[in-house]
Chains A and B, each alone.
Chain A
Amino acid sequence: MLSIKNLHASIEGKQILKGINLEVKPGEVHAIMGPNGSGKSTLASVLAGREDYTVDSGEIVFKGKDLLELAADERAKEGVFLAFQYPIEIPGVTTTNFMKTAINKVREHRGLEPLDAVSFLQLMKEKMKLVEIDQSLLSRSLNEGFSGGEKKRNEIFQMAMLEPTLAVLDETDSGLDIDALRIVSNGVNTLKNADNATIVVTHYQRLLDYIVPDFVHVLYDGKIVKSGGKDLAKELEKRGYDWVKEEADVAKA
């Protein structure tokens, strides 16, 4: 489904990603872990098409299409979803209105009729339950005055609405208390099926107790330096990142 080959990316002339290789198949959950500043969020942003980053070389193929050729909105329509680490506040735009526009853009792309008001509301109600989010929150300005937990639940709510084929969760666990973490994880797990895939970007192992990965990759200095199963995450939690860094530095030298 997703194939990243030798991806190099930079921002304002500073090289961040220095040759990422990653294969993701339908039904899989991949965790990207790593110390701060290793390039985890950059990878998430590059996948979603943030224009601040320059892709210097390499390729990303998604469902047979060259993802780098597509603008952010076209990627979203193709089924890429980024759950933001820091969801943006937009005064004057309600989540409801925004989601209605987004869903119909996605449907239009898939050759479907726009949802009428009733079906849209039904869908909203169904998905709201999933992340235990209140209607009143969705009628307010997008993320404005939301708590950290509410913002993250709103991200997963949007993901549930848009039903992406590839969900990229960028440090969705940061700033979440344990209750919110359970709600968010439960939402993600419910949405999981054999046809879609999830990339979980996180610093800590805790989230992976709830969203169990098939693969764990450690990103360090812009490269994936170690890959393994879910046990790798547990080991990282116990031993920290230093030993992986040392291994990588030795290998480099």
Chain B
Amino acid sequence: MSKLTKEQIDQFFISQFQSFESKLNGESKKPLHQVRRNAFEAFRENGLPVAKNEEYKYTNIAKAFGRNLNVEALAEEASEFTTDDIQKHFIPDLEAINLVFVNGQFNESLSHLQNLPEGLHIQSIKTAQNDFSDDFAQHFHQHSIEGADSFSSLNTAFTNSGAFIKIAKSAIIEKTIACYYFSDAERKDVISQPRNLVIAEQNSQANMLETYVTLGNNSSFTNAATEIVIKDDAIFDYYKLQNESAKAIHVGATLVHQLGKSVFNSSTFSFSGAVIRNNLSIAVHKEHSETNMSGLYFINNSTHVDNHTVVDHKVANCESNETYKGVLDGKSKGVFNGKIFVRQPAQKTNAFQSNRNILLSDEAEMDTKPQLEIWADDVKCSHGCTVGQLDKDQLFYLRARGLDEKTAKSMLLNAFASDVVNKIKIEALKTLVESKITERL
């Protein structure tokens, strides 16, 4: 298998788009297709970002793609997964409404769409674009957002049958909306580009989880995008769990628009995969909103995890808190880039950010960069990042009480991760994350 250059990959996606477009028939007359076309043009202009691009300086997705994917023989979008194949990958004991995606396409028959709680509407984008044309006209890829890049354009261009999720005004959905993205790499390499639109109407409350599973021994490339609109007084909890195969390349954009007095809580957990790039972008459009972002990457071998986050404070009286923590072993590599924009009208903003890392081996690497751009003058902002080893004095203290080295290390690492883990409000997910951490130690 020959290595593809960036230009060859760009060209591959361009021809893929042309063939995709030719099969759309009547679909191509609909307003959504104009959105696809605009996004495609944006992609064609720049192509995939390369290392020269400041945002991808430490994470070269094009290179990983070119080295691993055999685009001559890709798996078809359709897959023969049955309920039995996928069920065992559901999170144990999770009270959830399970949405199943296979190779990027929303699979309604494998999903649990019967007896949805009142106030929750889930439908394929294929038909929702007609039934909810106002929502699509207003929100689907309509707001520009800092942090969206060529990958999100590429994803939008290939929008086909993602999920449209709508939480009605004042509805409280207690069960987790759990999205499982399966990539079928059993016979061939596979590309998945799932695309969702989530609208949390006024005063609603919901929680959502996204997790990715590659089945099979071939390579997968996932380029996911989920747009979330959180309207006035709504509260939305968002979780992302990454526990992927060593041949999975993942780029995921979570693009969030927050309206007034809304709360958005995000937690991202990354344990394995080949290359993972998370783009979490939040635009705060109306006052008195609160944004909380946390993340934990606990990686080893040669897993590469890059978390790029953006909070764009456009208006006054909002608050954002960000805590990302990393434990890196083996030859793993981590990247953190946290951008906070405080625009000129965004007076009285409180924005806090921290990124702390522990390297467990000499070969692990962490690149971290806080990036605050502040135009308003009456704000409270702080940031801090650290990269270090386990504290020797703490280790000795524990050992001096009879804890062997392994137990002591494990206790310290659990303690290090605990403030991020304790933010998980879903018990079943918390148990799973804790067991993943224990497994690592």
Contacts and interface: CB of A to CB of B under 8 A. Distances in A.
B415 A91 contact: yes
Interface string A40-58: 0000000011111000000
A82 interface: yes
Contacts of B396: 50-51, 72, 88
A162 B401 contact: yes
B418 A102 contact: no
Contacts of A90: 394, 397-398, 412, 415
Interface string A72-105: 1101110001101001101111000011011001
Given A76-B399, A88-B394, A101 B404 contact: no
A75 B394 CA distance: 17
B145 interface: no
A99 B397 CA distance: 12
Nearest to A50: B396
Contacts of A71: 399, 404-405
B357 to A, nearest CB: 16
Contacts of B404: 71, 73, 105
Given A90-B415, A92-B416, A93-B412, A76 B397 contact: no
Contacts of A158: 401
Given A84-B397, A90-B397, A105 B416 contact: no
Interface residues of B, number: 23
B415 A49 contact: no
B400 A162 contact: no
A112 to B, nearest CB: 13
Contacts of A93: 411-412, 415
B407 interface: yes
B402 A162 contact: yes
Interface of B: 391-394, 396-405, 407-408, 411-412, 414-416, 418-419
A82 B124 CA distance: 65
Contact of A88 (B397, B411, B419): B397
A76 B397 CA distance: 11
Contacts of A81: 400
Closest 8 CB pairs of A and B: A92-B415, A76-B402, A72-B399, A88-B397, A102-B401, A105-B402, A92-B418, A73-B399
A98 B397 CA distance: 11
Nearest to A91: B415
B114 to A, nearest CB: 42
A109 interface: yes
13 contacts: A73-B401, A73-B403, A76-B399, A76-B401, A81-B400, A84-B397, A87-B397, A92-B415, A98-B411, A101-B407, A102-B402, A105-B402, A105-B407
Contacts of B403: 73, 101-102, 105
Contacts of B419: 92
A125 B438 CA distance: 30
B422 to A, nearest CB: 9
A150 to B, nearest CB: 16
Nearest to A159: B401
A98 B212 CA distance: 35
A76 B402 CA distance: 5
Contacts of B411: 93, 98, 101
A165 B402 CA distance: 14
B399 A82 contact: no
Given A91-B415, A92-B414, A92-B418, A49 B402 contact: no
